[in-house]
Amino acid sequence: MPPTFGATLIDADLLRVPVGPGAMHVARSGHGGRPILLVHGLGTSSFLWRNVAPPLAVANHTAFAVDLFGHGESDRPYDGEFGIAAQSEYLDRVLTALRVPRALVVGCDLGALVAIRLANDHPDRVERLVLVSPPDLSDLPGDDVKLLQRSVRRAPLRQQTGVMGAAPILRPLLEASVADAAAMPDALVGRYLAPFVGRDGVEQLLTVMRSIRAQDLHEEELRTIAAPTMIVAGDLDPWLPTDVAERMTAAIGGETRLERIPGVGRLVPEEAADELAELILGFDEGR
């Protein structure tokens, strides 16, 4: 499927779910089957799943694509916590509010870290776990955050005003996250940048970046994951080489498998939405 970016999750029900310090935006696609919770990564939003959720819904599942706090259309409470553990607790509350006792949980990049925390802190919530392009837990906060930090040093906060917003900071990350530059055209970059416009947007992105701390999650915690787990990664992911992906897969305590998608970089949902959806459905069915 060629990438589409002119709209969001077109046929989804758009929900605002109160979870303590604010409300989280959730796009619900489909009605039936096992619930599937889709959790995006750093600097993206539920928009990342726009080409993944529809085939899941067609296959008789209900897909819930959530905007983490500080991203997309979810609230940005001034006194809110944006770290991995806090985001996991917010997701637990979202599932409670949606009356979803258990779900297949799919997390991409930062979302994979949040999903790991959810699986360990609330194992009753996670039926199966899919980690898409997970960061190397032995080297947090991760190469993508380090790239953002370098971009900040090259483009100081005081220069990030007006319509430029977070563009000089976030654009390098988005462009480095795909193997094919055609998969991240200017219009798509602009769509991801939209929530981070102006000085407020930059400060919000920096707040989220600072909240990702090495001490929040350790590689040893892979061993305590009880849910059957699948790691999915593009074979051209610059930040998840084969040896790291294999090490993480081997470290997971329960049933696990690794799937590499040829010719794809880090943003698997952008470059290989159909392949990812098929892997998720097959994993759910035990294939």
Which tens digit of pLDDT belongs to each residue from 42-86? 889 999 999 999 999 999 999 999 999 989 999 988 777 888 999
pLDDT of res. 9: 57
Within 10 angstroms of residue 269's Cβ, the number of other Cβ atoms is: 27
Which residue's entry shows tokens 């798509």?
A: 188
pLDDT per residue as tens digits for the range 81-96: 888 999 999 999 999 9
Rg (CA), the chain: 17
**pLDDT number for residue 161:** 46
User: Residue 4 falls within a domain, yes or no?
Assistant: no
Return the pLDDT at 165.
Answer: 59
**pLDDT at residue 33, as a whole number:** 84
Which residue in 222, 278, 227, 271 sits closest to 245, CA to CA?
A: 222
- Choice between 216 and 26, residue whose per-residue pLDDT is larger: 26
Q: What is the pLDDT of residue 158?
A: 46
The reported pLDDT for the residue numbered 275 is: 98
Q: Is the pLDDT of residue 261 over 70?
A: yes
In what helix (H) or strand (E) does residue 85 lie, and over which residues does it extend? helix 84-97
Residue 198: per-residue pLDDT:
67
Q: What is the pLDDT of residue 233?
A: 97
pTM score of the predicted model: 0.90
pLDDT of residue 8: 52
Q: Would the pLDDT of 254 be above 90?
A: no
What is the pLDDT, as a whole number, of residue 154? Answer: 52
Domain limits for position 130? 13-137+216-284
Please report whether residue 273 resides in a domain.
yes
Domain contains 245? yes
271 is a domain residue: yes
pLDDT at 144 over 90: no
What would the pLDDT profile of 168-214 be if each residue is shown by its tens digit? 778 888 998 999 988 999 999 989 988 887 667 777 777 777 777 66
> Do 136 and 142 meet the contact criterion of CB atoms below 8 Å apart?
yes
| Mean of the per-residue pLDDT values of the chain | 87
Return the pLDDT at 141.
58
Give the count of alpha carbons within 13 A of 77, CB side only: 16
CB within 8 Å of 253: residues ≥ 6 apart: 222, 223, 224, 225, 226
Residue 265: which pLDDT band, with cuts at 50, 70 and 90? very high
Q: Is 63 helix (H, G, I), strand (E, B) or coil?
A: strand
Minimum mean pLDDT among 72-86, 104-118, 232-246: which range? 72-86
2 in a domain, yes or no?
no
Inter-CA distances, 218 with 87, 121, 137, 221, Å: 16, 14, 6, 6
The count of structural domains within the chain is 1
- Residue 46: per-residue pLDDT: 96
Q: Kindly report, residue by residue over 1-14, the tens digit of the pLDDT.
A: 444 444 455 578 99
pLDDT score of 139 more than 90:
no
Asked, for residue 39, whether it belongs to a domain, the answer is yes
Provide the pLDDT confidence category of residue 146 given band limits of 50, 70 and 90: low
Residue 26 is assigned to a structural domain of this protein: yes
| 3-state secondary structure labels for all residues of 91-154 | HHHHHHHCCCCCEEEEEECHHHHHHHHHHHHCHHHEEEEEEECCCCHHHCCCHHHHHHHHHHHH
pLDDT at 193: 86
- CATH assignment at residue 261: 3.40.50.1820
Assess if residue 8 is contained within a domain: no
pLDDT at position 215: 62
Q: How far apart are CA 218 and CA 109, in angstroms?
A: 15
